[in-house]
């Protein structure tokens, strides 16, 4: 115990941020993540202010044989940003950001959320592909791939990533880009948090907005088959600048709905023309499509994901296009959903995101198609069993229409390791394994969707 206390005091001398133990003010807030189902207590939370703090924290954890969890925005549904009894490296105070508008690049520290990132870049009329919920952290979303409203035009978040600063398992600071540590840079783009703590990211920027055409049209649930058949054809013909999501959700009066949401980042006249058929189809009970800032577009879903709600997710890419069979399963299951907070989301991958070769980045799922997310949410812990059971049963019923492919950022905490490696990384797994052995041979960073060396 004396040696441990001396070690902590040594860390305090070199650490600029906050070190929080269980009895300290701020500890309870710092350990809580977006998913209220997660309830873990780290032995120590290191709230970093910069890269040097990250280095000190990694070395301290190694010296004391502590598990390391790394928190950026804390949105990961599996709750791997927080550990039980180990060291939580909290990057959420690291929010420095610099934009080079002429070069169209942004350097952003790992504690930023996409809302904060967009606020800075949109001041210059620029943006990178980011998440569809503004409170999501830039770090976790990017390292897993990064689906977002601009992916048709500009690819996923990883396709916008041009460099990163990484603290390795040895506590060394390295740069990764297309000239330095090239294998590491490849692995960071979709390999999750397996290779080190990314303290800052450098992204390419693109002219976007500030006003785009975005919003959704919603129809009664009983129209799901007709609406999603139309959406299937509408998405197949969509230009790159138009990204489409579909969702089963509840309206303000708890009415079950099927919706088609869009974001068009092109000229407004062009955008109006490209979505006219969607707005004219059927008899929608809601139409919110209009001219909105790109910043506002990325906050529109925030209220549907309240911090502290209990979450359990299942997700997979669809085997074929959005088939009638898939639509019927989803509609039937949504009608039986036990929670009014739950959503089913269908994300369409096309355009620039689908033109990247499958082996060009660690993220391999580059074909045109749909990803389905069963996003179960509820408030009362006594309802956990029934909501988790509904999600698992729905996922099992989708087996005939599911592909053996899934998105790492949507993996639940109970996903089997073998299932994750095959479904998430597929043909890229063996290269990721070699890189893991080079940069983290002792698996210091293992509280993630792990690539075990």
Query: What is the CATH classification number for the domain harbouring 191?
Result: 3.30.465.10
Domain assignment present for 126: yes
Residue 428 class from Cβ within 10 Å (0-12 exposed, 13-18 middle, 19+ buried)? buried
The pLDDT assigned to 338 comes to 97
Indicate the DSSP class of residue 423. I
317, 406: one domain? yes
The pLDDT assigned to 416 comes to 59
43, 149: one domain? no
List the one residue out of 204, 128, 126 whose CA is nearest residue 164. 204
216, 305: one domain? yes
Domain assignment present for 319: yes
CA 218/CA 62 separation, integer angstroms: 52
- Pairing mode, strands 173-176 and 161-167: antiparallel
Domain boundary among 186, 208, 230: 208
Sign of CA dihedral 385, 386, 388, 393: positive
CA 276/CA 289 separation, integer angstroms: 10
Alpha-carbon distances, residue 70 vs 57, 191, 271 (angstroms):
11, 15, 40
231, 367: one domain? yes
Residue 183 class from Cβ within 10 Å (0-12 exposed, 13-18 middle, 19+ buried)? middle
240, 384: one domain? yes
Residue 182 class from Cβ within 10 Å (0-12 exposed, 13-18 middle, 19+ buried)? exposed
The pLDDT assigned to 3 comes to 45
| Contact call for residues 145 and 409 (beta carbons, < 8 A) | yes
Domain boundary among 26, 60, 90: 90
Domain assignment present for 435: no
Alpha-carbon distances, residue 162 vs 60, 182, 269, 329, 372 (angstroms):
30, 11, 32, 40, 28
The pLDDT assigned to 4 comes to 52
CA 447/CA 193 separation, integer angstroms: 8
Domain assignment present for 72: yes
Using DSSP's 3-state secondary structure scheme, residue 310 falls into strand
The pLDDT assigned to 180 comes to 97
- Render each residue's pLDDT in the chain as its tens digit; 453 residues: 444 545 888 898 889 999 999 999 999 999 999 999 999 999 999 999 999 999 999 999 999 999 999 999 999 999 999 999 999 999 999 999 999 999 999 999 999 999 999 999 999 999 999 989 999 999 999 999 999 999 999 999 999 999 999 999 999 999 999 999 999 999 999 999 999 999 999 999 999 999 999 999 999 999 999 999 999 999 999 999 999 999 999 998 899 999 999 999 999 999 999 999 999 999 999 999 999 999 999 999 999 999 999 999 999 999 989 999 999 999 999 999 999 999 999 999 999 999 999 999 999 999 999 999 999 999 999 999 999 999 999 999 999 999 999 999 998 877 655 567 789 999 999 999 999 999 999 999 999 999 999
Number of helices (H), then strands (E), in the chain: 15, 19
Residue 261 class from Cβ within 10 Å (0-12 exposed, 13-18 middle, 19+ buried)? buried
107, 201: one domain? yes
Q: Give the count of beta carbons closer than 10 Å to the beta carbon of residue 166.
A: 22
Those residues with Cβ within 8 angstroms of residue 17's Cβ, 6 or more apart along the chain or in another chain: 46, 47, 48, 49, 50, 53, 93
CA 202/CA 107 separation, integer angstroms: 4
The pLDDT assigned to 365 comes to 96
104, 194: one domain? yes
Domain assignment present for 445: no
User: Rounded to 5, what percent of the chain is helix, strand, coil?
Assistant: 35, 25, 40
168, 290: one domain? no
Domain that holds residue 119: 97-208
Domain assignment present for 172: yes
Q: Give the count of beta carbons closer than 10 Å to the beta carbon of residue 165.
A: 21
Domain assignment present for 332: yes
| Contact call for residues 426 and 364 (beta carbons, < 8 A) | yes
Domain boundary among 38, 70, 90: 90
The three-point CA angle 33-96-107 to 5° equals 105
244, 342: one domain? yes
The pLDDT assigned to 379 comes to 97
233, 297: one domain? yes
Domain assignment present for 123: yes
Tally of structural domains, the chain: 3
Q: What's the CATH number where 358 sits?
A: 3.40.462.20
| Residue 190 Rama label (left phi>0; alpha psi -120 to 50; beta) | left
Q: What's the CATH number where 44 sits?
A: 3.30.43.10
165, 240: one domain? no
272, 295: one domain? yes
């Amino acid at each position: 115990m004396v040696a441990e206390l001396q070690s902590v005091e040594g860390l305090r001398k070199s650490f600029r941020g906050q070190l929080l133990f269980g009895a300290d003010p701020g500890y309870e807030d710092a350990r809580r993540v977006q998913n209220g189902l997660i309830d873990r207590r780290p032995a120590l939370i290191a709230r970093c202010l910069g890269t040097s703090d990250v280095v000190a924290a990694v070395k301290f954890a190694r010296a004391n044989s502590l598990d390391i969890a790394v928190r950026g925005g804390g949105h990961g549904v599996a709750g791997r940003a927080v550990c039980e009894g180990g060291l939580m490296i909290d990057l959420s105070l690291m929010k420095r950001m610099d934009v080079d508008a002429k070069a169209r690049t942004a350097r952003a520290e790992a504690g930023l959320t996409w809302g904060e990132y967009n606020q800075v870049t949109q001041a210059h009329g620029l943006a990178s592909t980011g998440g569809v919920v503004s409170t999501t952290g830039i770090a976790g979303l990017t390292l897993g791939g990064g689906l977002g409203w601009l992916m048709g035009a500009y690819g996923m978040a990883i396709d916008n990533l041009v460099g990163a600063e990484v603290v390795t398992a040895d506590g060394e600071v390295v740069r990764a880009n297309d000239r330095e540590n090239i294998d590491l840079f490849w692995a960071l783009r979709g390999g999750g948090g397996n290779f080190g703590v990314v303290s800052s990211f450098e992204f390419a920027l693109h002219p976007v907005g500030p006003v785009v055409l975005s919003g959704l049209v919603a129809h009664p649930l009983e129209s799901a088959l007709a609406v999603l058949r139309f959406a299937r054809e509408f998405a197949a013909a969509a230009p790159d600048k138009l990204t489409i999501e579909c969702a089963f959700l509840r309206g303000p009066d708890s009415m079950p709905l099927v919706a088609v949401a869009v974001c068009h980042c092109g000229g407004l006249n062009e955008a109006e023309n490209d979505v006219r058929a969607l707005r004219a189809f059927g008899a929608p009970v809601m139409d919110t499509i209009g001219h909105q800032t790109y910043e506002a577009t990325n906050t529109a879903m925030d209220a549907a994901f309240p911090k502290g709600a209990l979450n359990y997710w299942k997700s997979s890419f669809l085997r074929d296009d959005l088939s009638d069979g898939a639509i019927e399963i989803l509609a039937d299951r949504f009608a039986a959903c036990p929670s009014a907070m739950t959503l089913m989301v269908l994300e369409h991958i096309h355009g620039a995101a689908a033109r990247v070769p499958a082996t060009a980045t660690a993220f391999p799922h580059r074909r045109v198609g749909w990803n389905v997310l069963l996003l179960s949410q509820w408030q009362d812990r006594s309802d956990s069993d029934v909501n988790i059971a509904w999600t698992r049963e729905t996922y099992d019923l989708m087996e005939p229409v599911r592909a053996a492919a899934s998105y790492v950022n949507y993996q639940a905490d109970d996903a089997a390791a073998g299932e994750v490696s095959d479904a998430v990384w597929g043909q890229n797994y063996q290269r990721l394994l070699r890189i893991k052995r080079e940069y983290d041979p002792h698996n210091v960073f293992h509280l993630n969707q792990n690539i075990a060396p």
